[in-house]
Amino acid sequence: MKKFSRYLTILCCSACLFSCTSPQPYRKAEPATIIRYEQDLFALDKTNLKPGLQKLKDSYPVFLGGDINDTLNLIQLAGYLNDPLINEFYNDCQQKYPDLQFLEEEMGVLIQNYKTHFPDKESFSVYTYVSGLDFKHPVVFIDSMLLISLDMYLGADYKHYDQLGIPKYISRQFTKENIARDAAESVIRRVMPGLSGTTLLEEMLTEGIALFGIHQLAPFLSPEIVIQYTPEQFNWCKKHEKELWAFLLKNDILFSPDPKYKKEFLLTGPSSPEFGDIAPARLGQFIGWQIVQAFQIKNPNLSVKQIIEYQDAEALLKQAGYKP
């Protein structure tokens, strides 16, 4: 990796010819209806839960699919609703998100684009809930339901994220601006097959297709939000795109199945120190996204669905004619 500094010296004066663009114009849509399960659940009489749960059961089968008459289930639900920490999360969610008008508008666009690009797929409803800081699954797409854990979007500096030991480079993503982004990723990963194989190129393009799909569903997102970089990290990638691509080609690692390259170029982390002090992790995702965008430009007759479902990594790279 230290060889990279020499490429910076040689190529730093070269301008990038292709990079992520700013959000594209998009059509407004009817706001989506967002069903706030957490509000209905916490409004129940905690001293007499069973009747209230029976009324909610049919409206929320994904959350209340168990037997309400089962004593153990009732005890578990009562324990959840009476947990001081869960109540703190709930109250903090209500304070930060007393209404979700912004998200209704964003999800309206997302759902409209989903229907446009994937007309053969069933649409979905959107629910919010309090997960108890399930940071590994902030948004879940199940069948025709998108479930958003509001307590995972209480701000990068929310004290309980630190107390849980979540690294800062992850918790900085737990913001209002990232809700629709994570929703779009959850949806797109359900409909994209991913490229077969195990080479670095195939995995880079799989991630690039996912980022492309996220931006197609949610074009109002800035590119740095799409890829979950800070503005400084994203600008670094744009500035050094040509050098990064030259490094991958020079070292002949695109077609390598060696897992160490996946770790170096695709896995999340605070940074990629081998490439400079502010170089972000997941540089392979960034390059993969640029290749997929170049591919779309060269193949304007392909639909978004066809690109999302594309399976041949080498053909995609060749047809993209990617030359940063």
Confidence of residue 277 (pLDDT cuts 50, 70, 90): confident
Q: Mark whether 279 and 306 lie in a shared domain.
A: yes
Q: Mark whether 91 and 120 lie in a shared domain.
A: yes
**pLDDT surpasses 50 at 168:** yes
Rounded CA-CA distance 122/126 in Å is 13
Confidence of residue 196 (pLDDT cuts 50, 70, 90): confident
Q: What is the pLDDT of residue 28?
A: 80
Q: Mark whether 226 and 309 lie in a shared domain.
A: yes
Per-residue CA distances from 232 to 12, 205, 278 (Å): 17, 24, 8
Confidence of residue 95 (pLDDT cuts 50, 70, 90): very high
User: What is the rounded average pLDDT of the residues 279-284?
Assistant: 97
Q: Is the Cα torsion angle 280, 221, 144, 62 positive or negative in sign?
A: positive
Q: Mark whether 278 and 154 lie in a shared domain.
A: no
Query: Between 22 and 213, whose confidence is greater?
Result: 213
Rounded CA-CA distance 234/9 in Å is 20
Q: What is the pLDDT of residue 67?
A: 83
Of 155, 190, 225, the position where a domain reaches its end is 190
**pLDDT surpasses 50 at 159:** yes
Q: Mark whether 137 and 83 lie in a shared domain.
A: yes
Burial class (CB in 10 A: 0-12, 13-18, 19+), 252: exposed
Of 134, 157, 190, the position where a domain reaches its end is 190
Confidence of residue 306 (pLDDT cuts 50, 70, 90): very high
Q: How many domains does the structure of the chain reveal? A: 2
Rounded CA-CA distance 234/19 in Å is 10
Q: Is the Cα torsion angle 245, 249, 252, 255 positive or negative in sign?
A: positive
Do 274 and 2 touch, CB atoms closer than 8 A? yes
Q: What is the pLDDT of residue 26?
A: 64
**pLDDT surpasses 80 at 6:** no
- What percentage of the chain exceeds 70 in pLDDT? 92
Q: Mark whether 67 and 124 lie in a shared domain.
A: yes
221-234 per-position pLDDT tens digit: 999 999 999 999 99
Q: What is the pLDDT of residue 127?
A: 98
**pLDDT surpasses 70 at 178:** yes
User: What is the rounded average pLDDT of the residues 101-124?
Assistant: 97
User: What is the rounded average pLDDT of the residues 254-261?
Assistant: 94
Q: Mark whether 96 and 211 lie in a shared domain.
A: no
Q: Mark whether 129 and 110 lie in a shared domain.
A: yes
Q: Mark whether 68 and 106 lie in a shared domain.
A: yes
Domain that holds residue 83: 34-190
Q: What is the pLDDT of residue 194?
A: 84
Q: What is the pLDDT of residue 9?
A: 34
**pLDDT surpasses 70 at 18:** no
Q: Mark whether 210 and 298 lie in a shared domain.
A: yes
Of 190, 208, 240, the position where a domain reaches its end is 190
Q: Mark whether 54 and 19 lie in a shared domain.
A: no
Confidence of residue 141 (pLDDT cuts 50, 70, 90): very high
Q: Mark whether 11 and 67 lie in a shared domain.
A: no
**pLDDT surpasses 90 at 274:** no
**pLDDT surpasses 90 at 27:** no
